[in-house]
Chain A
């Protein structure tokens, strides 16, 4: 099963609204990363939060991490039509293999 699982699977909002996506993971992590994939294009790294951090900001992005609940959330504020994409969380295992495992993604649609 996937290490990271996003919730919801799909989200549709109006331009200007905030979008929140959640990610749960199963094992101990070194870090958690969020990526965006636009339709038909490659994945782009958005933000990385380390296991000893609780919150991180980057522009209109805010990521939180709760290691006790093994969960993370990604908030996109003041959404734009260009934010329409699939968003994936990726959990970096703290084990010896140092593997980063991606979740199944949240499809976000921002309606102009």
Chain B
């Protein structure tokens, strides 16, 4: 079946602009995660959804970052007033339920110039 998809695959934006990143999880997966991975680094947890609610927003780096999930499916991560330090690969993952193995999307590479 279809895996996790993310769009766009690449995004180049100017500093100060807003960006929206989209994640389509595997159908039926209730848990959805957003991570950020800088070049050569590990995964930085951003936010986790169980259904449409986000029990844990502790990983969001600043109030410029927000995320929502609708219909227990698609999620969007929004970064307002982007900064150069926001440049990274943003990964989305979904799992059947929390604690089960996560299936990752290919990521969105964000470059802020």
Contact = CB atoms under 8 A, between A and B. Distances in A.
Interface string B74-101: 0000000000000000010100001111
A104 B42 contact: yes
B42 A2 contact: yes
B101 to A, nearest CB: 4
Contacts of A88: 42-43
Interface string A94-108: 001111111111000
Size class of A's contact patch?
20 to 34
A33 B33 CA distance: 15
B45 A101 contact: yes
A44 interface: yes
Interface in A34-49: 35, 41-45, 48
B42 A100 contact: no
Contacts, number: 56
A102 B50 contact: no
Nearest to A101: B45
B41 A104 contact: yes
A59 B102 CA distance: 20
A52 to B, nearest CB: 13
16 contacts: A2-B42, A33-B101, A35-B104, A42-B91, A42-B107, A43-B102, A45-B101, A45-B102, A48-B100, A88-B42, A88-B43, A90-B102, A97-B55, A99-B48, A100-B99, A102-B42
Interface of A: 2, 30-31, 33, 35, 41-45, 48, 88, 90, 92, 96-105
